[in-house]
Amino acid sequence: MVSPEPAKEATTDFVRTQFRRYYRESKLRLPDRFGRREFGFMFWSAGIVQRHLGFGREEDVKEFLTTRVPAHAYYSSAYYETPGAPTMEEKGWLGADLIFDLDADHIPTAKQMSYPEMLEAVRGKIIKLYDEFLRADFGFDEGRMRLVFSGGRGYHVHVFDERVWPLGSHERREIVDWITGKGLDLDAAFRESAFDSREFQGRVRVKKRLVAPAARDAGWRGKIFRGMAELTARLEALKPEEAVAFLTSFEGVKESAAEDLYADLFKPRATAPRVIRGVDRLREGQIEALPDRSRDLLIRIVKDLQQVRLDEYHGMPLEGITQRGETDEPVTSDIKRLIRMPSSLHGRTGLAVVELTRDGIDGFRPLRDAVPAAWTDEPVRVRVANGINMEIRGEAFNVAPGVNDVPQYLAIFLAARGLATVVTEA
């Protein structure tokens, strides 16, 4: 039997050999203005890193990848006068793209998910970030953004709009705060408006009403309305006793108040020319149609839920109710960040770092679409400690513990993830 260390070394050699073949056969997708960017690489031994490199030609990048064969390839979000200078001070910072990073760390229940389930959950969050914040709120054009599958546990968005290049770390953190709702004044979403005034004995009395946000409102006001509408839709779908139980799960909410709110929302009211309910008026933007007590309780619950940092609360999924977005703040605020290079390979999966369009991400499935075409179905003998049940490249596999012959594309994935070792000839 091969001892553990030689088996590990043989496995690393196998994966590295396939990476070299991939880089020889594949067309690279270098970033815009790559000659102004710093490149960095991680190799197969822990702690072996090389950065502060600049390349003037695509051929030079390809030669480095095929001769040195790194496990991971990165380039800087920043542009420099001299990207290959040995220190940051000598490089001469010119500006930087805006980078957003989402991975399994942003999924509270990721540990209970399979790898495909986790990737699917992250994909939904990156689409929300792209659609509802970067496009809708900040107005970035699709042609100035790039979605990227990281090859590992998540997705990135690269914003290369020249308007973001001069932004410093503070301004980038403010963008993160907007997306995550940090410091958000939720009370401002519900404002008072005068609707009548009368003068009596020289004094003017002004009547006011509370105005809820509307679906058409920009920014967080519109988001709060959509969250409120989704909450009422979820409550409507529950049995009355389940809805009341959910409402009373909030601190200080008595059962009688929860029952009143449920009735005020969903009890039919006979009004000509149609039967209408409180929730129908609410969805038309008339929150004042609810009695004050129920209105204030609903607003309080909507505001409380915006602060919940979970995907589920007391059995209710919060997607669509909570409107905050997700991103990794240190990545976005860093003006000199290294980010994975599209078309490179991820050393811990063997999957490609794939550049995607907004339309393309909808049907994208990493274990089908990020498996390099260079990986073949030639059988490779591997040893696995634990049984593996998974689907890759559209094929389902149930690999038993012990020695198995599996297609090369599966062998590379399992070997890179540390789930298998390659069995060499005796």
- Tens digit of pLDDT for each residue in 120-170? 999 999 999 999 999 999 999 999 999 999 999 999 999 999 999 999 999
Q: What are phi and psi of 152, to 5 degrees?
A: -125, -100
Catalytic residue, chosen from 97, 260, 264, 328, is 328
101 is catalytic: yes
107 vs 55, residue with greater confidence: 55
Q: Does the pLDDT at position 51 exceed 90?
A: yes
Per DSSP, what are the bridge partners of residue 78?
Answer: 96
* Averaged pLDDT of the chain: 92
311 is catalytic: no
The tens digit of pLDDT for each residue in 380-395 reads: 999 999 999 999 999 9
Cα gap 109→55, rounded to integer Å = 41
How many Cα atoms are found within 13 Å in the side-chain-facing hemisphere of 197? 7
The tens digit of pLDDT for each residue in 283-319 reads: 888 888 899 899 999 999 998 998 888 888 888 999 8
pLDDT at position 205, please?
A: 65
The answer to whether residues 335 and 327 touch, using CB atoms and an 8 Å cutoff, is no
For the segment 68-82, the average pLDDT, to the nearest whole number, is 98
Q: Does the pLDDT at position 198 exceed 90?
A: no
pLDDT at position 60, please?
A: 97
Q: What are phi and psi of 129, to 5 degrees?
A: -60, -45
For the segment 339-355, the average pLDDT, to the nearest whole number, is 97
For the segment 405-425, the average pLDDT, to the nearest whole number, is 95
Q: How confident is the model at residue 3 (pLDDT cuts 50, 70, 90)?
A: very low
Q: CB under 8 Å to 373, separation ≥6 — which residues?
A: none
Catalytic residue, chosen from 97, 101, 264, 334, is 101
For the segment 263-278, the average pLDDT, to the nearest whole number, is 83
Q: Does the pLDDT at position 375 exceed 50?
A: yes
328 is catalytic: yes
pLDDT at position 201, please?
A: 63
pLDDT at position 1, please?
A: 37
Q: How confident is the model at residue 108 (pLDDT cuts 50, 70, 90)?
A: confident
Catalytic residue, chosen from 97, 103, 260, 334, is 103
246 vs 285, residue with greater confidence: 246
Quick check: pTM over 0.95?
A: no
How far lies 417's CA from each of 282, 321, 414, in Å?
51, 36, 5
Q: How confident is the model at residue 178 (pLDDT cuts 50, 70, 90)?
A: very high
Q: What are phi and psi of 347, to 5 degrees?
A: -70, -10
